[in-house]
A and B are shown apart, each in its own frame.
Chain A
């Protein structure tokens, strides 16, 4: 009985230490960095911008607001040196679709643009804080 108690105590302590922030990183030559893990690292997958388009009212004014917000984020990403080449086309296409009254398409594009704009700002923050993790050990 006592032995079981001590084994349980050990396991609990181990799990606790492993779960503590920053305690679970195992050292490798270079940290894993494929896109999927990076997306997870930057928390992009946790954003609520991936909401289904049916949740979004197809209203030109609202789409314009989404676009304006995305443009603001794009400027932040670019100013910090982390702009993406993919966003300019998306923005142009979204604006064109909006102008031509294709609200559903404009909405899809603006949501995608928002996701990318947010991701680039998150990448900038992440890189600023974590770039040293890529240094070989």
Chain B
């Protein structure tokens, strides 16, 4: 009798396993547990959790596109689609953003009314520093992106801030990025406050939005490499390294936050303002996920 009872229990457990009853209790729940641990933690714990996030994130793409070399993810969709890559390489022979970079250099070097320049606001005179952005400013308690730093530099020198999506700010950002090509991106998450901002960005990335009910992850992880109409969806890994970009659709340079707003509108979600806390935290999260890749902005995209 007891034997039969055990047979019954074991049979149930095996069948239940087939239904996925224990999926939630497997080791795969680590990212969830990690995401929920947003309370105060030791810096080494935070770093360990962020490293695990990076491992899971990058591991997803390594498994999905096993033939793609890690370093190539900085080239966005052109790392995945050979036909698009060929066209892109041809475009890059005469980069459409070249004049904008020149304009950016001129703007960067033009003194403000008080005689100072952008170089006075940044480490190393603003040269070869793009890889240090975004970062979490512990004093201000917020994520600082390069474009935000450019405008704060202007404001601290008595100048009006620039629009955040295109135009002069994109040109200045492009010039600064061009001086940082091939520098390693490795943003840190070193405090509770930074971890909170990072987790807010992470939550944004994985949250479904808009009437189409898509998250960033839905398009740029789950269906990355597949086509939406004529376009191949690029991988989320490496998206932050190449901005600002010259998009053929825009016919001009634009910033990452301009692209974020465009993505949100594509899924019929109301976009946030460029350089809003939400988008800055998202950029921070995406940049952390792209650790180990190198800067290659500005670049050209469809």
Q: Which residues of A contact B (CB under 8 A)?
A: 2, 6, 9-11, 13-14, 17-18, 22-27, 29-30, 33, 35, 38-39, 42, 78, 81-86, 116, 119, 123, 126-128, 131-132, 134-137
Check A27 against B213 for contact (C-beta < 8 Å).
no
Distance in angstroms from A40 CB to nearest chain B CB is 11
For chain B, what secondary structure do more than half of its interface residues adopt (helix, strand, loop), or is it mixed?
Answer: helix
A42–B206 alpha-carbon span in the complex (Å) = 16
Q: Does B211 contact A (CB under 8 A)?
A: yes
A-B CB contacts (within 8 Å), total count: 132
A18 to B17, CA, bound (A): 9
A128 to B222, CA, bound (A): 20
- Evaluate contact between A131 and B16: CB separation under 8 angstroms: no
Tell me which of B18-26, B85-93, B163-171 binds A: B18-26
- In the bound assembly, the distance between CA atoms of A5 and B254 in angstroms comes to 69
Contact: A26 with B209, CB < 8 Å?
no
Q: Please indicate the chain A residues that have their CB under 8 angstroms from the CB of B221 in the complex.
A: 30, 136
9 smallest A-B Cβ distances: which pairs?
A26-B20, A83-B270, A137-B28, A27-B23, A13-B12, A38-B213, A127-B207, A14-B15, A134-B206
CB–CB A81/B217 < 8 A: no
Q: How far is the CB of B165 from chain A (nearest CB, A)?
A: 17
Q: Please, how many angstroms separate the alpha-carbon atoms of A134 and B63 in the complex? A: 17
Asked if B19 and A18 make an inter-chain contact with CB atoms under 8 angstroms apart, the answer reads: yes
Q: Known contacts A23-B16, A131-B208, A137-B56; can you find 8 more A-B pairs with CB under 8 A?
A: A10-B15, A17-B21, A29-B64, A83-B269, A85-B270, A86-B268, A134-B222, A136-B57
**CB of B11 within 8 Å of the partner chain:** yes
Q: Known: A14-B12, A136-B60. Is A22-B24 also a contact (CB below 8 A)? A: yes
Tell me the complex Cα distance, A103–B251, Å: 45
Taken together as a complex, chains A and B put the C-alpha atoms of A6 and B2 apart, in Å, by 12
Taking the nearest CB of chain B, how far is it from the CB of A79, in angstroms? 11
| CB <8 Å contact, A82 and B217 | no
Residues on B facing A (Cβ under 8 Å)? 4, 7-9, 11-12, 15-16, 19-21, 23-24, 26, 28-29, 31-32, 35-36, 56-57, 59-60, 63-64, 203, 206-215, 217-218, 221-222, 265, 268-270, 272, 278
- A30 contacts across to B, CB distance below 8 A: 217-218, 221-222
- Distance to closest chain B CB from A7 (angstroms): 8
Contact A137 B7, beta carbon cutoff 8 Å: no
A11, A33, A126 interface centre (most CB from chain B within 10 Å): A33
> What are the residues of chain B within 8 A of A14 when measuring CB–CB?
11-12, 15-16, 19
Which residues of A have CB within 8 Å of B20?
23-27
* Complex CA–CA separation, A123 to B209 (angstroms): 7
Instruction: A132 to B222: give the CA distance in the assembly, Å.
Output: 14
Query: Which among B21, B23, B26, B269 is the interface contact of A84 at CB below 8 angstroms?
Result: B269
Given the known inter-chain contacts A78-B270, A84-B270, please indicate yes or no for A38 contacting B208, CB distance below 8 A. Answer: yes
CB distance from B129 to the nearest CB of A (A): 31
Which of B7, B21, B208 sits near A126, CB closer than 8 Å?
B208
**Looking at the complex, which one of A22, A39, A135 makes contact with B213 (CB distance below 8 Å)?**
A39
Instruction: Among B32, B57, B211, find the residue whose CB has the most chain A CB atoms closer than 10 A.
Output: B211
Q: Nearest Cβ in chain A — how far from B255, in angstroms?
A: 20
**Which residue of A is nearest B213, CB measured?**
A38
Cα A29 to Cα B35 with chains together (Å): 17
Sampled A-B contacts (28; CB under 8 Å):
A10-B8, A10-B15, A14-B11, A23-B20, A24-B19, A24-B21, A25-B24, A26-B19, A26-B23, A27-B20, A27-B28, A29-B60, A29-B222, A82-B209, A82-B269, A84-B270, A85-B265, A86-B211, A86-B268, A131-B207, A131-B215, A132-B36, A134-B222, A135-B56, A135-B206, A136-B56, A136-B217, A136-B221
Q: Is the CB of B211 within 8 A of A135?
A: no
A132 to B59, CA, bound (A): 17
Q: Contact at B213–A131, with CB atoms within 8 Å?
A: no
